[in-house]
Amino acid sequence: MPNQNDKTDCSILISSCDLYADLWTPYFKQFWKNWPDCPYPVYLSANLKTFDDPRVTTLKAGAESNWTNQVRQHLELLETPYVLMSLEDFFLRRPVPTAKVQECLRILTELGGHTLRLVCRPGPNQPVPGHPSIGSIECGAPYRVSTQAAVWNRQSLLRLMRSDESIWEFEIKGSERSRAFETGFYGVRRDVLPYRHHVIERGKWFPWEARTFGRFDIGCDFDARPIMTTREAARWCASMSRATVLNAIPWRLRLRLVAAVKSIMR
């Protein structure tokens, strides 16, 4: 049974925009199928369009708002001290363990932290005494700030944001800005939200995700956006394979290697 206090402690904000409105129906069908007992109020960040579902409150930012401006505007409308933020192309694939999500919120509150990432991308790199299910993300670590699904202290997230940044700039520059906070960034050691990875890359469906979710009859509109070509998908897989190899190297050594390569190539 969900804790009734959760509704006053945390909200869910699904970050999106009208250009991705074709994903809202399949996203939320997967959401409610896999998280029917979600204890938190759910909000959708949009521009001008409204998603017609009484369980979801659409927040509108206007036509010209970019990513950080829109998210900041909507974060300021929320009243809960914590927010679970995720993106509209992270389709849930299996039932959500509500108790584990609630435990993550409790741990973050207990530690007085800024964020607790709910997936291991990237994972934490230091232990947290007394909490074996999570780890800390060191100051200076790449993607210490990430738009992978996470529970955030809402005010901390607002402090890390700047006007007119894209979602990619926020991750890179926000990670740099997070150096102002020596501690308080955490991540789970095993995924809590079961979405694995995104279904859209640069506006196109991954072909394997189009096949998977197309079979589910959840409202995927494949006329609204293209599916990657075989060549595009192969190129993406190759880049992810390289990233996997690099990410296996401890981050401090990895940064030194990257800096050395850049120096040689000048």
pLDDT of residue 11: 98
Domains of the chain: 6-188 (3.90.550.10), 200-265 (no CATH)
pLDDT of residue 2: 43
pLDDT of residue 1: 37
Residues whose CB is less than 8 angstroms from the CB of residue 65 and which lie 6 or more positions away in sequence, other chains included: 47, 73
pLDDT of residue 8: 82
Residue of 95, 86, 164, 72 whose CA lies nearest to 119: 86
pLDDT of residue 263: 73
Between the alpha carbon of residue 12 and those of residues 26, 97, 169, the distances in Å are: 17, 15, 23
DSSP 226: P
pLDDT of residue 244: 75
- Whether this prediction's pTM lies above 0.85 is answered by yes
Q: Which parts of 83-132 fold into alpha helices (H)? A: 98-111
pLDDT of residue 3: 52
pLDDT of residue 258: 65
Quick one: tokens of 95?
């039932």
Render each residue's pLDDT in the chain as its tens digit; 266 residues.
345 556 689 999 999 999 999 999 999 999 999 999 999 999 999 999 999 999 999 999 999 889 999 999 999 999 999 999 999 999 999 999 999 999 999 999 999 999 999 999 889 999 999 999 999 999 999 999 999 999 999 999 999 999 999 999 999 999 999 999 999 999 999 999 999 899 999 999 999 999 999 999 999 999 999 999 999 999 999 998 887 777 777 767 777 776 776 777 66
pLDDT of residue 252: 75
